[in-house]
Amino acid sequence: MIEDFAGRLVVTLDLDGVTDKAGLMDRCARDLALPDWFGRNWDALADSLADPSVWPEGSVERGLVLVVRGWREYAEARPGEWAVAEEVFAEATDRGPGLFVTLGPGGSSKEVADQPG
């Protein structure tokens, strides 16, 4: 875990290779270290994101930034599901004081950017 310039803890949700809701929920459980009781559905994800008791230690006092990366493949494969996921992320940000969710790079970390020059 790292911190940003404001001292908030930064957690990355890596969706590289995820193309469906089940994969998203599994990745959320893994990357966000959600408790065993996490229900792997939209409501449970929203509740978990907005619940500071499941955030990493120290993030309640400092704030938490969740960076979602590698999301583009999922968004293209299941646009309706991805729209719901974005809504859940936005609602969690509104509900949970100290939580900020942002979309990072959409592609795979294995891709090499085609740079001019």
pTM for this entry: 0.83
Domain boundaries 9-103, corresponding CATH code:
3.30.370.10
Beta bridge partners of 10: 2, 65
pLDDT single digits (tens) 28-52: 999 999 999 999 999 999 999 988 8
Walk along the chain (117 residues) and give the pLDDT tens digit of each residue.
676 666 788 999 999 999 999 999 999 999 999 999 999 999 999 999 988 898 888 888 889 999 999 999 999 999 999 999 999 999 988 886 799 999 998 765 554 443 333
* pLDDT computed for residue 97 by the predictor: 74
* Nearest in space to 55 (alpha carbons), one of 100, 88, 103, 15: 100
Separation CA 20–CA 74 (nearest Å):
6
CB 98 within 8 A of CB 51: no
Domain spans, the chain = 9-103
Residue 61 φ/ψ region, left for φ over 0, alpha for ψ in the -120 to 50 degree band, beta for the rest? alpha
